[in-house]
Amino acid sequence: TLLQLWAFIYAHLSQGGSGKIPTVEFISESLINNVVQDPQTGRIYLGAVNNIFQLSPSLQKEARTETGPKKDAKTCTPPASGCQDTVLMPNSNKLLLVHPSNGSLIVCGSRYRGICSLLNLSNVEQELYYNDNKGQRTYVASIEDNVNVVSVMSNYTKNGRTFKVFLVGKGYGSLDSTKLISTRILEDYQDWVVFENIIEASAVQTAPFVLKYLHDFQHAFKEDGFVYFLFSRTLDGTDNKNLTYVSRLCENDQHYYSYTELQLTCGIKNRYNKVQAAYVAFPGKELARVMSQSGNYGTVTSFTKVLFMVAHPDDDESDSALCMYPLNSINHTAKTVNVFGVKSKQCLIVPSCYPFPLQKDALGNFKCGAEHLPSPLASKPAFALKADAVLTMSVHLTAVTVAVENDHTIAFLGSANGEVFKVEFTCGFFYKVNKNLFLDQSQSHLYITTEKRVCVYIFNTYYTLKFWQSTCLC
């Protein structure tokens, strides 16, 4: 079975060895919020509280710029010079995104209502764009520490021109922008200004979701013409239990008519109901074969991307699981949700849904939704995409990344105790491993981020295939 396969791998990992895998590190004096890598240069950009660091692929510091503390107040409408009762406040860099086509780094912090700036990818000390007087339309991130923000680059076409934009998923903050999902432009055009939300869709604003759903975003990605957001939220105002959802919308949908939320369950009776982190990757041939033979995942090949997710129960962070969802299964089930929503002529979530008499096969004519079709849609529990927990651990897992070596799939799982499992790197600093766990393009360097440091492990085929256990040299 699939569980036995993972148990076999885990047993080999835990056998260990005496060798040490080469490692280097960079230590931040303040808490690390986000880490991203430019795939073209391999550079690492580290967003910590009050600082942005530019590092080489080997984690040598190349540049640094201060983003805080700033004089601000929670109720201040920027610019801060016009506000009273301001005090120096730390700036958490909640969103980092590489914008390679114009050589910039998108940075959105927690100060001044979450406005953003553009820094030079070659030298982050050079600010390419910043404006704090464009008003509410440019508020992107959140001023509240417990509100997560995720984002992904995309394109938007208007008047025959294609613009670079980034889509943002953001939970509710009492003084934030009301946008649950927003599309932000990266240049001035006609009446639009840089970082403005250019799609007005009341159905995915946070105001109607405030007390009822409380979305907590963890991951965003795009694939094959769709944009996906992964998050947990409550079912409604009567039950505080979190459920994990993946939402999907067509990348070219300029009204969010196609926005659909699909519930993901993990483990028996959905024990592992709250997502912590995720990673999307192609599986190795062996894992794809086992997934297909299990009969639980449909047909999976090494060319079928899979969403790998770690989650834990609401009431027990010390119990975690790894679950897997092929994207073709997500898409198929989301289509089922859309068909049900259209045939029933009603939305599955409120606030805004306008049912109209529908033509037969209306969905077939409008694969990305339409104004006259119900929206937004969310799956009832009966339509949830179910997955077994392929691995459970008595530890709070907080990060996951995946690599393929000689047709075999290797998952690296980070924990709140500062451990990384599957290759059994056990770091001695015992700080929480955050969700910024990733491999470089060559899959020969594993970057691990904790609260105040980032390590890079340099391993070769020998270490990977032998699954050696090594103490982190941090």
Per-residue pLDDT reduced to its tens digit, 237-247: 678 899 999 99
pLDDT band at 469 (very low <50, low <70, confident <90, very high): very low
What pLDDT was estimated at residue 209?
Answer: 55
What pLDDT was estimated at residue 173?
Answer: 84
- In degrees and rounded to multiples of 5, residue 298 shows phi and psi of 75, -160
What pLDDT was estimated at residue 467?
Answer: 32
Q: β-strand 51-55 against 61-66: which pairing, if any? A: antiparallel
Does residue 346 register a pLDDT over 50?
Answer: no
CA distances from 409 to 248, 278, 380, 402, 449 (A): 26, 15, 32, 7, 22
- CA 335, chain centre distance (Å): 22
What pLDDT was estimated at residue 197?
Answer: 95
- Mind listing the pLDDT tens digit for each residue in 289-301? 888 988 999 999 9
What pLDDT was estimated at residue 383?
Answer: 85
Of 56-65, 159-168, 457-466, give the lowest mean pLDDT range: 457-466
Predicted TM-score of the model (pTM): 0.85
What pLDDT was estimated at residue 210?
Answer: 55
In 321-415, alpha helices (H):
327-343, 362-365
pLDDT band at 172 (very low <50, low <70, confident <90, very high): confident
Does residue 463 register a pLDDT over 50?
Answer: no
Query: For the residues 92-117, what does the mean pLDDT come to?
Result: 96
- CA 407, chain centre distance (Å): 26
pLDDT band at 1 (very low <50, low <70, confident <90, very high): very low
Percent of the chain, pLDDT > 70?
A: 80
Percent of the chain, pLDDT > 90?
A: 56
Distance CA 457, CA 463 (A): 11
Distance CA 106, CA 166 (A): 9
Query: For the residues 192-208, what does the mean pLDDT come to?
Result: 81
Query: For the residues 454-474, what does the mean pLDDT come to?
Result: 43
CA distances from 134 to 188, 197, 217 (A): 12, 12, 26
Distance CA 366, CA 250 (A): 11
Distance CA 76, CA 175 (A): 10
- Mind listing the pLDDT tens digit for each residue in 351-410? 334 333 334 444 555 778 887 776 777 777 888 999 999 888 899 999 999 888 777 788
**Ordered structural domains, the chain, with CATH:** 30-200 (2.130.10.10), 206-473 (2.130.10.10)
What pLDDT was estimated at residue 456?
Answer: 76
pLDDT band at 168 (very low <50, low <70, confident <90, very high): very high
What pLDDT was estimated at residue 145?
Answer: 87
Q: Across all residues in the chain, what is the average pLDDT? A: 82
Query: For the residues 191-212, what does the mean pLDDT come to?
Result: 78
Does residue 190 register a pLDDT over 50?
Answer: yes
Which helix H or strand E contains 129, and what residues bound it?
Answer: strand 123-130
Cβ burial 300-339 (10 Å sphere, 16+ → b, else e): beeebbbbbbbbbbeeeeebbbbbbbbbbbbbebbeebbe
What pLDDT was estimated at residue 205?
Answer: 67
Handedness of CA 294, 297, 300, 303 (dihedral sign): negative
Distance CA 70, CA 129 (A): 18
Query: For the residues 451-464, what does the mean pLDDT come to?
Result: 60
Distance CA 231, CA 263 (A): 10
- Mind listing the pLDDT tens digit for each residue in 44-90? 999 999 999 999 999 999 999 999 999 999 899 999 999 999 999 99
Does residue 9 register a pLDDT over 80?
Answer: no
pLDDT band at 455 (very low <50, low <70, confident <90, very high): confident
> CA nearest 232: which of 220, 245, 219?
245
Contacts of 215 (CB under 8 A, 6+ apart): 169, 171, 172, 180, 206, 209, 231, 232, 233
Distance CA 188, CA 196 (A): 9
What pLDDT was estimated at residue 446?
Answer: 82
Does residue 12 register a pLDDT over 70?
Answer: no
Q: CA 210, 144, 278, 401: dihedral to nearest 10 degrees?
A: 180
More confident residue, 224 or 207: 224
Query: For the residues 227-234, what does the mean pLDDT come to?
Result: 96
Whether the bond between 69 and the residue before it is cis, its omega within 30 degrees of 0, is yes
What pLDDT was estimated at residue 370?
Answer: 81
Q: β-strand 260-266 against 385-387: which pairing, if any? A: parallel
